[in-house]
A and B are shown apart, each in its own frame.
Chain A
Amino acid sequence: MRKLLRGAFVIGRRDFSATVLSKTFLFFLLGPLFPLIFGGVFAGIGTNVANSRQKPVVAVVASPADFGRLEAARDRLATAIDDEHVIRLARFAPEPDPNAQRVHLLASKDPPIQAVLMGYPDQAQLIGAIRPDGTTAGQLRLMMADATGESRADYELAVDHADASTANTSRDLALTGQAAQTALFFFTLLLSTMLLSQLVEEKSNKIIEVVAAAVPIESLFVGKLFAMLAASILGLVVWISAGAALLASFKGLASLPTPEIGWPAFLTLVIVYFGMNYLLLGALFLTIGAQASTVREVQTLSMPVTFGQVLVFGFAATAVGSPNSNIALGAAIFPFSSPLTMVARAAEQPGWGQHVIALAWQALWVAIILKLGASLFRKTVLKSGPRTRWWKRKSVA
């Protein structure tokens, strides 16, 4: 194992340097920025349209007079800070059964209700998919304190977390999952197909003999795979840094509902699943590409491989929105769709356990594919080993 990793490191270092230090890498870095810029612009426009049409509100169950004071306080707050950043309020008349009214309001889609404020002003209670120390609760405390003439610190506002609200339903969470899934698919599509041609260089330059005599073929596969992953991550860092400004200016990320697992954990998982998706597909493409002898053959292979990726993406996409369905389970188990499925699941369901299991499962498949790829390379390209006849194997068994 030590020799394998040492050999992989030597090959990976050579490949990484050769890729990153070449002039063409600059074009590689610049290439995806164009669609990203256009995507960012259109996403920003789309987000603004969506914001103006369906902005979630806090439902205030109160008398017209009490609501009027609260609304006036909101307007004052909106003059102090940008109106876009201040929560919106909608009044609803109290009904005889407060519990039924709360459930009914939280299920409302028009307008989408983020939380319900009841018992205002004497025993104010805020219920919804919000955090007690979050922006919504904080702003409401300020408004209520202003409306009643109390200081913010003195104002009591009980906050109860409700699992679902119409502003944060599973469908909305699925949107976050879908966005991450699409980004993952897009970047992997761009990057992993490069691995198809990775071994052509060694084969056409006849370096393969030198390498095969010095290190296990697995080292060659692992080294190349991780070198390209490292180059891709370098590219991603550049693209994300450049894209971050766009996303921030167009509030692309802020317009997405908070994933169930939380943004920091979700973004971490997006990166980890990108790596795993890249390794899985990259190992497969390296294996397929290793069979090709010429650049022409690699080009011919590119199209079916791309279609294969689209198919896998389609399979994973069917799982979004119904993470507990059988098809979602199948997509999570099938190695090539597993990272895409699991990243969407991270948006829809809390908990780390399932991700630990999924990542271990995916890592196992990376190892299996690399092992099979190296064996196939030895058999078909280097023409190594005895001829195996399955019927003989069977009779021995």
Chain B
Amino acid sequence: MSTGPAVEAVDLVKDFGATRAVNGVSLTVPAGSIYGLLGPNGAGKTTTLRMLLGIIDPSSGTRRVLGRERPLESAQEIGYLPEERGLYPAMHARDAIAFMGALRGLPLREARRRGEVLLKEHGLSDWAKKPIRTLSKGMAQTVQLLGTIIHKPKLIVLDEPFSGLDAINQAKLEELIRREARAGATIIFSTHVIAHAERLCERVAIIAKGKVAFDGRVDEARARLRPIVRLTTRERDGPWRSAIPSGGHTEGNHFVFELPESGPEPLLKALIDGGAGIEALAIERPGLHDAFVAIAGESAAAAMAEEKPQ
């Protein structure tokens, strides 16, 4: 068993004809972590995941998954939920889960047994022997997710797992991801909804235009930005204005600016001594979204914003 990172990719490149979909992606996913791939649609997230899983080979670059250079050799230890969900419509829910388990090396009988247990745990036992085509979209998606984890994989790769789920099922899925992580699995998921990554991930990679713009801890991404100060004063002008750094702006009565490197105390002292008349002062820690904008650029952020929020 490998004791190193669960996944390592070095300079992965993927060309589809004349189009370069992934342009030198390198990333490291520590074992046991929840890792998010962030980026707008078309950024190269799915292609990167497909290369990591061995579904497609890269045009160049290397990857190592669970200690093996050929990802398919680790297939029995990996679970994968693709972006485009797919199940055999005529198959019963229990058999669909068992089929996915059998593909990953579970004996069919054991896979069926585990499938029944999982369906019961998720309130779907009444649907175990019903064809997939009779299930709702959300149910079918749950069935596929259960098929992804039935063999207790060490690495779970989820491509846009929240897509198409309502708020309740999104919360259930978040809980399931946390539970699998607590059980020791490494989880990689791609998303274009930053809030999910912010709530779940310890580490993220921000991908834009086929390149990794950032790979590291979420707090590291946030730390790239200075905290934001929102200040409301009685006076509009005075010597205290020199304490407000340049580059800020006003929003109504608020001054909005980055906290100076010297910290909040010298700022407060200057405002009080200058007679600004502080009515309100808030220091906001930047969110992952702000970090994303700063790292990936306004255009990538705009592309994310244009996508339908889940």
Chain A interface residues (CB < 8 Å from chain B): 3, 6-7, 10-11, 13-14, 18, 22, 201-202, 205-216, 378, 382-387
Least distance between A73 CB and chain B CB atoms (Å): 68
**Contact in complex: A207, B75 (CB < 8 Å):** no
Residue numbers in A under 8 Å from B87 (CB-CB)? 205, 207
Q: Name the residue on A nearest B54 (C-beta).
A: A213
Residue numbers in A under 8 Å from B57 (CB-CB)? 378, 384-386
Range class of the B interface residue count: 20 to 34
**Contact in complex: B80, A213 (CB < 8 Å):** yes
Knowing A209-B86, A214-B75, say if A385 contacts B56 (CB, 8 Å): yes
Q: Name the residue on B nearest A7 (C-beta).
A: B103
**Which residues of B (75-110) have their CB < 8 Å from a CB of A?**
75, 78, 80, 82, 84-91, 99-100, 102-105, 108
Residue numbers in A under 8 Å from B60 (CB-CB)? 386
**Contact in complex: A209, B100 (CB < 8 Å):** no
Knowing A382-B55, A385-B57, say if A206 contacts B103 (CB, 8 Å): no
Q: Counting chain B CB atoms within 10 Å of each CB, which of A201, A213, A385 scores highest?
A: A213
Q: Does B15 contact A (CB under 8 A)?
A: yes
Least distance between A6 CB and chain B CB atoms (Å): 7
Query: Residue B55 contacts which of A6, A201, A213, A386 (CB distance < 8 angstroms)?
Result: A213
**Contact in complex: B56, A6 (CB < 8 Å):** no
Having A18-B88, A18-B90, A214-B104, one finds 15 other A-B pairs with CB under 8 Å, namely A3-B72, A3-B75, A10-B103, A13-B108, A18-B91, A202-B86, A205-B86, A207-B86, A207-B87, A209-B82, A214-B75, A214-B100, A382-B55, A386-B57, A387-B15
Roughly how many angstroms separate A355 CA and B50 CA in the complex, as a whole number? 45
Q: Does B58 contact A (CB under 8 A)?
A: yes
Residue numbers in B under 8 Å from A208 (CB-CB)? 86
**Contact in complex: B55, A215 (CB < 8 Å):** no
Residue numbers in B under 8 Å from A385 (CB-CB)? 56-57, 59
Roughly how many angstroms separate A387 CA and B99 CA in the complex, as a whole number? 34
Roughly how many angstroms separate A248 CA and B66 CA in the complex, as a whole number? 63
Least distance between A176 CB and chain B CB atoms (Å): 43
Q: Does B53 contact A (CB under 8 A)?
A: yes
Residue numbers in B under 8 Å from A212 (CB-CB)? 55
A-B contact count (CB 8 A): 79
Q: Name the residue on A nearest B15 (C-beta).
A: A387
Chain B interface residues (CB < 8 Å from chain A): 15-16, 50, 53-60, 72, 75, 78, 80, 82, 84-91, 99-100, 102-105, 108, 144, 147
Residue numbers in B under 8 Å from A382 (CB-CB)? 55-56
Roughly how many angstroms separate A392 CA and B82 CA in the complex, as a whole number? 35
**Contact in complex: A384, B55 (CB < 8 Å):** yes
Q: Name the residue on A nearest B49 (C-beta).
A: A213
Residue numbers in A under 8 Å from B58 (CB-CB)? 386
**Contact in complex: A383, B80 (CB < 8 Å):** no
**Contact in complex: A216, B72 (CB < 8 Å):** yes
Residue numbers in B under 8 Å from A14 (CB-CB)? 88, 99
Residue numbers in A under 8 Å from B88 (CB-CB)? 14, 18, 201, 205, 207
Residue numbers in B under 8 Å from A13 (CB-CB)? 108
**Contact in complex: B102, A213 (CB < 8 Å):** no
Least distance between B133 CB and chain A CB atoms (Å): 10
Q: Name the residue on A nearest B151 (C-beta).
A: A214
Knowing A10-B103, A18-B88, say if A383 contacts B75 (CB, 8 Å): no
Knowing A6-B105, A387-B15, say if A210 contacts B82 (CB, 8 Å): yes
Least distance between B237 CB and chain A CB atoms (Å): 62
Residue numbers in A under 8 Å from B86 (CB-CB)? 202, 205-210
Least distance between B204 CB and chain A CB atoms (Å): 23
Roughly how many angstroms separate A18 CA and B87 CA in the complex, as a whole number? 13
Knowing A18-B90, A205-B88, say if A210 contacts B56 (CB, 8 Å): no
Least distance between A202 CB and chain B CB atoms (Å): 8
Roughly how many angstroms separate A201 CA and B53 CA in the complex, as a whole number? 22
Roughly how many angstroms separate A205 CA and B88 CA in the complex, as a whole number? 7
